[in-house]
Structure 1
Amino acid sequence: MAILHSHLQKNVHTYDSLFLHQGHKGRKAFQEQMGLVVQKLTEVFSVSDKPFNGQSPQQVKYEVEFMMRFSNGGYSLEEALDDIEGPILKNSLHISHRKSIAHLHCPPLISGIAAELIIGALNQSMDSWDQSTAATYVEKELVRQLAEKAELPDTADGTFTSGGTQSNYMGLLLARDYFCHRNWNHLVQEKGLPPGFEKLRILCSEEAHFTVQKSAAQLGLGKQAVVTINTDDRHRMRIEDVEDTLTELKAKELLPFAIVATCGTTDYGSIDPLYELKVLARQHALWMHVDAAFGGGLLFSHNHRENVNGLSLADSITLDFHKLFYQPISCGLFLVSDRKNLRYLSYHADYLNPVEDEEEGISNLVNKSVQTTKRFDALKVLLTFKTVGTSLLGKMIDDTIEVAREAAKQLDERAEFLVENPVPELNTVVFRFQPQTTEKDTDELNRLIQQELLYQGKAAISKTSINGRTGLKFTLLNPRTNLQDIKEVINDVEEIGREIAMGGYRFDKCERDS
């Protein structure tokens, strides 16, 4: 027994420098290793003068696979960091670069990065109070304040999520179960989908996020349950088409139960007419879910706040903090106007959230989420609100919208560009390069422009579809991106586009990968 005790004590000392703990060895190892990480990242960022270094997918794949070897005995963090520097750190997209303007993928604030370190060090799970203690109340209070910011009623509640996909799924899950309970006295949680469920229908814009269809499929309703509504010239749902569609559905004895309004479409940043949609939702007893993953940031805008006033009318809302709130991925929020409807998510496990806890007033956040283990992402938002402040955050958002509008204006003034949204509602600009004379297919031409910009390291922009044609998009989330940066990117698009159109580029993938 004494030998075993001695062996276990020796193991404890062996592990001391592998974990952050109250002992000297743990604290010392943490300081040293975090210092190495900071040093390595600082070195990489000091020489990353391009959004991307131009390596082909095949080259990146080869370098990563060559590096992916494990060590039975282990080696130093310094050696490991040196190992990943080229294959991973230098082969990554540098999203904080001013010309990295492709996707709804924001540069993270340093406050958010610092919070990530704290979150990882504490490693709390937000499912039960006894695993998260103080963190539970941080999330609850932030949910309350953000619901108040959206002007939701006092009955509102919500939960932090992994992002828009999870939040949209939760909104439609609650809408489905609420409808079945209210109309058929049927609890889906207990009895499964009721007879006639195949008649259930969800309405959304033809430009709504794909997760509406994905959620319908996962909820057992099938993608066929989603009915898309035509959009106007500003890419917003047409109210008259919503009315006509509801009439048609009821004539066919189908059962519309939810409408998904988009507050910031992925491509155009368009905001559906929230007030008018709520009137129809009330008339037809529909649940209104608002996907404000993108546009929800306007809640803090100084100049555009009125564009999201209709959020207060929603039954449920999706917000993302890893878009216009500049937080590291992942960080989302799901809000409901009436906390009673969260009951459709609640399950009790004796070891985790027993009924007695509720009777004693103990908050176990798993009752409000489809997740069990859940990160303390609320800390990122808290540290940002405390250090950056909501006023400066609102200014950042306003500045990016102003740059987007100036970018659209610059493009519109050039004869070879067709701008799809000349006055952006948010901070995306969608356009096509259309030279008057070219032997190239213009869809292929625009695709090649996007690729060549990336592989030359000049800019990261995205390609998208415009009425079935290939187009290009600037997503201007970075408040450091200025008009001069945009002018340079437009010039590069024009120059590369003209050379491709004249046959000046040869795109030999094998040659590039060699």
Structure 2
Amino acid sequence: MSGGADGPDALDPLIRTVLDALARGAARRGGPLPEGTPRELAAEVVRAFTAADGDEALGLLTEVLAHGSADPADPLCAAHLHCPPLAVAVAADLAVSALNPSQDSWDQAPAATTLETLLLQELAALVGYDPVAAAGVLTSGGTESNLMGLMLARDRVLGRAAGRQVELAGVPATGARPRIFASSAAHFSVARSAALLGLGEDAVVSVPVDHELRMLPDSLAAALRESADRGELPLAIVATAGTTDTGAVDPLGRCAELAAEYGAWLHVDAAYGGGALLSDRLAPLLDGIERADSVSLDWHKLGWQPVAAGVFLARRAETYASLARRAVYLNPQDDEEAGYPSLLGLSLRTTRRADAFKIAVTLRTLGRAGLGALVDTCHELARQGALAVRAEPRLELHAEPVLTAFLFRYVPEGADPAYTDEVNAALRRRLLREGRAVVGRTELPGEGPGRVRLKLTLLNPRTSAQDVARLVRTVVAAGLAEEEGR
């Protein structure tokens, strides 16, 4: 077993096996991801899985995992909000895996219960909340956090309008139809959450965005006014602080004003952009976040933590009431009255890892200033990357970086929009197939051809400006090769 007094001795040789296999796999890979098609790589995994047996299984399967992974620590792996975790965070996570505390009751996680509470108070203060009045929990990521924010919005706002406890009686079949307002660039989990909450995806009103994919405040105001005029219930506004494609930040202050005017809940999805709060330079981008009723943060993005490290925060602890749960075998009332705290009623999950521990260790090791320096480094890399794109005649930059990501495309000479889309999609797959680079692909809001864009998301502070310039040149070379092959 990994725990107990003998646990470290049992783990020691196995950890060495894993470390050796990680090194072998990375050496075989030799780049940001392995060369080959999905079918070829799957066949290799099948062979390793079939051959793995007994004491050799750990090393063999770890090696094939390392060889067959997209490595976010490689400078040419820059597609997604998929960060290279800090070594200290991974080491801290090993301690959690070995001890295996579960956060659903105090007697399974005495120290971890207190550590999560302390960490959430610190993060609440970082957002601008009163840490004593706020409440929160660690989540699996922004999708779960967004669901929680909209669940509380449903229970509070719709419950108040309907005069019933929605979490008990369900969504009313009659009365004003609830509406959720989010930008057309908001995360897809907003619509999914509306479906899960019984409101329906059609309850989400898509608000237009500007060129940088920021929600247009006048359009939001008009959408709210028109909805109210139709007799609908403005349930929530979801403002995005860091869209996945451009890192755009919606006008948080104006969103807060409109939410107050219409009695709507304001949830800020800062899963990506919340990392800006660590940086003195970028924190002003999130002015107004402290007025939100709830906030999503993801430390496995601009926080360099192993997945999962999501955080959900509510400005007022009393708004958490509808999530409160009592399970006599986990948090009996007399235990709580006797001073044994419970986090069960703060989460949608029961069994839950002590993911707060790695974040707490990282914060205490590097501090806000140390993490903020990493954020600033990645922001500067994105700026340098945008300059490199502008310097290439065959590339077109969509907009200047706000955080650490930006969109661009390869433009074939004299090509029509549909052909341009085809070449950009194909050059990205060429880079994946050849194992040369991991570049993102997305589409701008709207209809018709000409909307496909490539994306660089720079989350590795060890990457250099020269590395990014090399990645940009690699994209150009792949585009030229695609044109020649057509």
Report TM bin, short chain. Answer: over 0.9
1:436 aligns with 2:413: yes
Stretch deviating more after TM superposition (434-443 or 270-279): 434-443
Equivalences for residues 222-233 of structure 1 within 5 A: 222-233=200-211
Structure 1 distance, partners of 2:33, 2:290, is 41
Deviation at 1:233, TM superposition (A): 2.1
Match of 2:468 in 1: 486
Deviation at 1:444, TM superposition (A): 1.0
Deviation at 1:442, TM superposition (A): 1.1
Report the AA paired with residue 37 of structure 2: S
Structure 2 distance, partners of 1:129, 1:197, is 42
Q: TM-score, normalised by structure 1?
A: 0.90
1:22 aligns with 2:5: yes
Report the AA paired with residue 500 of structure 1: E
1:165 aligns with 2:148: no
Deviation at 1:438, TM superposition (A): 4.9
Deviation at 1:357, TM superposition (A): 3.0
Match of 1:425 among 402, 417, 439: 402
Match of 1:58 in 2: 39
Structure 2 distance, partners of 1:50, 1:409, is 24
Secondary structure of the residue aligned to 2:287 is: helix
Secondary structure of the residue aligned to 1:334 is: strand
Structure 1 distance, partners of 2:374, 2:59, is 35
Match of 1:300 among 275, 278, 283: 278
Match of 2:105 in 1: 128
Deviation at 1:387, TM superposition (A): 2.0
Structure 1 distance, partners of 2:162, 2:173, is 10
Structure 2 distance, partners of 1:144, 1:270, is 27
Structure 2 distance, partners of 1:86, 1:109, is 21
Match of 2:251 in 1: 273
Stretch deviating more after TM superposition (232-241 or 107-116): 232-241
Stretch deviating more after TM superposition (454-463 or 159-168): 454-463
Equivalences for residues 40-439 of structure 1 within 5 A: 40-46=21-27, 48-69=29-50, 75-76=54-55, 79-85=56-62, 87-153=64-130, 154-196=132-174, 199-421=177-399, 423-438=400-415
Q: Contact 2:2–2:99 (CA<8 Å) still a contact in 1?
A: no
Deviation at 1:458, TM superposition (A): 1.9
Secondary structure of the residue aligned to 1:248 is: helix
Superposed CA deviations along residues 57-96 of structure 1, whole A, max 9, x for unmatched, are 101222222333498xx611xx113432553221111121
Equivalent pairs, count: 480
Q: Which runs of 5+ in 1 are unaligned?
A: 1-17, 505-514
Secondary structure of the residue aligned to 2:253 is: helix
Superposed CA deviations along residues 346-382 of structure 1, whole A, max 9, x for unmatched, are 1111111122233334321011111101110011111
Report the AA paired with residue 421 of structure 2: D
Structure 1 distance, partners of 2:115, 2:66, is 33
Match of 2:455 in 1: 473
Structure 2 distance, partners of 1:91, 1:319, is 29
Determine which structure has more spread, i.e. the larger CA radius of gyration.
1
Q: Contact 2:18–2:62 (CA<8 Å) still a contact in 1?
A: no
Deviation at 1:413, TM superposition (A): 3.0
Report the AA paired with residue 277 of structure 1: C
Relative to 1, partners in 2 of residues 1:286 and 1:409: Cα closer, same or farther, differing over 3 Å?
same
Superposed CA deviations along residues 236-286 of structure 1, whole A, max 9, x for unmatched, are 111111111111111211111100000000001000000011111111111
Report the AA paired with residue 248 of structure 1: E
Match of 2:442 among 464, 468, 476: 464
Q: Contact 1:102–1:473 (CA<8 Å) still a contact in 2?
A: yes
Q: Contact 1:119–1:379 (CA<8 Å) still a contact in 2?
A: yes
Match of 2:426 among 437, 448, 452: 448
Structure 1 distance, partners of 2:104, 2:41, is 38
Q: Contact 1:161–1:334 (CA<8 Å) still a contact in 2?
A: yes
Relative to 1, partners in 2 of residues 1:208 and 1:197: Cα closer, same or farther, differing over 3 Å?
farther
Structure 1 distance, partners of 2:381, 2:306, is 23
Structure 2 distance, partners of 1:98, 1:413, is 20
RMSD of equivalent CA atoms: 1.8
Structure 1 distance, partners of 2:219, 2:278, is 32
Structure 2 distance, partners of 1:222, 1:200, is 10
Structure 2 distance, partners of 1:359, 1:171, is 28
Superposed CA deviations along residues 402-448 of structure 1, whole A, max 9, x for unmatched, are 11112112212333222111x21111110111122358811110011
Secondary structure of the residue aligned to 1:388 is: helix
Stretch deviating more after TM superposition (226-235 or 186-195): 186-195
Q: Contact 1:48–1:94 (CA<8 Å) still a contact in 2?
A: no
Structure 2 distance, partners of 1:155, 1:116, is 29
Report the AA paired with residue 234 of structure 2: P
Structure 2 distance, partners of 1:93, 1:249, is 45
Q: Contact 1:125–1:374 (CA<8 Å) still a contact in 2?
A: yes
Structure 2 distance, partners of 1:304, 1:374, is 32
